[in-house]
Structure 1
Amino acid sequence: MVTATGSSPRPAGRPLKRVLSQEAITRAALTLIETRGYEGLTMSSLARALKVAPSSLYNHVESKGDVLILVQDHVMTQVDVSGFDTEPWEQAVRRFAWSYRDVFTRHTPLIPIIAVFPVSGAPQTLAVYEAVTRGFEKAGWPESLIVPAIVALESFIFGSAFDATAPEGIFESGGLAGDFPRFTAAVDAQRDGSRGYRADVSFGLGLDALILGLEARRESYRP
């Protein structure tokens, strides 16, 4: 049978289905988190965003936790750990830290989630930590200090990602400037340059201090 438009009708009993993939689920979940926050990501809201029935979604992921693992792995694979295979430890850490900060500057709504989300079941995320650990071991770091050092770096990186996206003028004293002249003068002294440039200066300064402190801790370590 041919319709009035000349096309053949779709066979009865085989409704059209939207094809789902892990990539599509990850993209949709990431968009929901960044627009509505963690609480805005539910299995029902994700199914609506993907224009599928919840039952179709559950054919690919079992829970919201599974979705978060996909999101975590997607974001963490963008962190550059290549330097730990070929570069001196300090240079590799700088490459890692700058790329890590830049990734989460683009995804700051994920920070409160990723910072406390277990890595079990997240193979790509674990691969990142494995590469960093190998680099630390190659540089002579004692095994017991590697994870504390990584956590120290991550804590600084996450805070710096928030700083890079903070509103312009966050430190302006406004009408209270006369009561706090020294801080106001210090803020005025760094007015030159864009907000991004000033955030980079702060991150570079803090990273220098952190690397120096970590190296000193490694050298003074006693079991």
Structure 2
Amino acid sequence: MVYSGLLTLFGRSHRMTDDARGEPRRAGRPLESVLSRARITTAALALITIEGYGGFTMSSLARTLQVAPSALYNHVSSKHEVLQWLEDHVMTMVDVSGFGSEPWDVAVRRWAWSYRDVFARHAPLVPLVAVLPVTGAPETLRMYETIAAGLAGAGVPVESLIPAIVAVESFIFGSALDANAPADIFDTGDLADSSPTFTAAVLGQDRSTGERPADVAFRFGLEALLAAVAATRRGPDA
């Protein structure tokens, strides 16, 4: 069901092209002839979402696409390249529109919340994207350039840009996983007597706002990181 839905979303443009020409696909047309970056990326995203990274191989991807591995390699050189395509596709969902049009801290908040929410929906990708080089991933690099330029323009010194971005991004990745944690993750149960302070803290959380604990924790951590970035700023408005 997940794969079918994703394939419908990303394959729509290909079907529209055929329909616009009024040319029905000929019987017996080899499936590999319609492979594309979009189709391969869609299948890879569906496969990792369902099976996790451990179930993702070029052979399993070929089976998902119902083609021979040799046909797949006619369109993509390696598993690493597929992962770069996947990284780039997911990064286009992250909102960086605030940089250049909003105060730097508002823009970072917009980016961070969007980034967290995107990867909360695609949690199996976190351990992949967290260590994947940006070489060959233009959309990912464009996101980083936008953030770096925005922070530099706000007075963050060049030597602090990468530490700031990595610190916030690392927090985002962990928070994306936390967003999918069960509601009772901190229920101490029969061990409550051995951890009285922690148990009291769990029970004493402010739930009056109706916010999810994961969102409360994310806001708390993000604001702390923003304060640390703000402390590095130089210039008349710092």
Residue deviations 1:131-175, cap 9 Å, x none?
Answer: 111101211121121111100000111111111111221111110
Q: Which residue of 2 aligns with 1:69?
A: 84
Which residue matches 1:197?
212
The equivalent position to 1:94 in structure 2, one of 102, 109, 130, is: 109
**How far apart, CA to CA, are the structure 2 residues paired with 1:186 and 1:98?**
25
Please name the residue that 1:123 is paired with: 138
- SS of 2:133 mapped into structure 1: coil
Alignment pair present for 1:110 and 2:137: no
Which deviations, in whole Å up to 9, do the C-alpha atoms of 1:40-97 show, x marking residues without a partner? 1111110110011112211110100110011000111111111012011110010010
Gaps of 5+ in 2: 1-24
Q: Secondary structure at the match of 1:57?
A: helix
Which letter does structure 2 place at the counterpart of 1:157?
A: I
Distance of 1:63 and 1:90 partners within structure 2: 39
Contact 2:123 2:177 in 1 (8 A): yes
Is the contact made by 2:119 and 2:125 (CA closer than 8 Å) also made in structure 1?
Answer: yes
Which position in structure 2 is the counterpart of 1:158?
Answer: 173
Alpha-carbon distance in structure 2 between the residues aligned to 1:21 and 1:72 = 16
Aligned pair partner of 2:162 in 125, 147, 161 = 147
CA distance in 1, matches of 2:119, 2:223: 20
CA distance in 2, matches of 1:182, 1:141: 39
Contact 1:32 1:40 in 2 (8 A): yes
Q: How far off its partner does 1:15 sit?
A: 3.8
Partner of residue 181 from structure 1, selected from 187, 192, 196: 196
* Segments ≥4 residues shifted beyond 2 Å: 190-196, 217-220
Q: Which residue of 39, 43, 47 maps to 1:32?
A: 47
Higher deviation after alignment, 141-150 or 59-68: 141-150
Q: Is the 8 A contact 2:48 2:124 kept in 1?
A: yes
TM superposition shift of 1:29: 0.4
Aligned to 1:210: 225
Do the aligned residues in 2 keep the contact of 1:164 with 1:195 (CA within 8 Å)?
no
Query: 2:17: which partner in 1?
Result: none
- Residue number in structure 1 paired with 2:93: 78
For 1:36 and 1:194, how far apart are their aligned partners in 2? 36
Q: Percent identical across equivalent pairs? A: 57
Amino acid at match of 1:38: Y
In the alignment, the residues of structure 2 paired with residue 101 and residue 112 of structure 1 have an alpha-carbon distance, to the nearest angstrom, of 14
C-alpha displacement of 1:218: 2.9
**For residues 91-111 of structure 1, what are the alpha-carbon distances to aligned partners after superposition, in whole Å with 9 as ceiling and x for unaligned?**
001001000100110111111
Residue 3 of structure 1 aligns with which residue? none
Instruction: List alignment gaps of at least 5 residues for structure 1.
Output: 1-9
Aligned residues: 209
Aligned counterpart, 1:16: 29
- TM-score for both structures, normalised by structure 1: 0.88
Q: Which residue of 1 aligns with 2:73?
A: 58
Q: Scaled by the length of structure 2, what TM-score is found?
A: 0.82
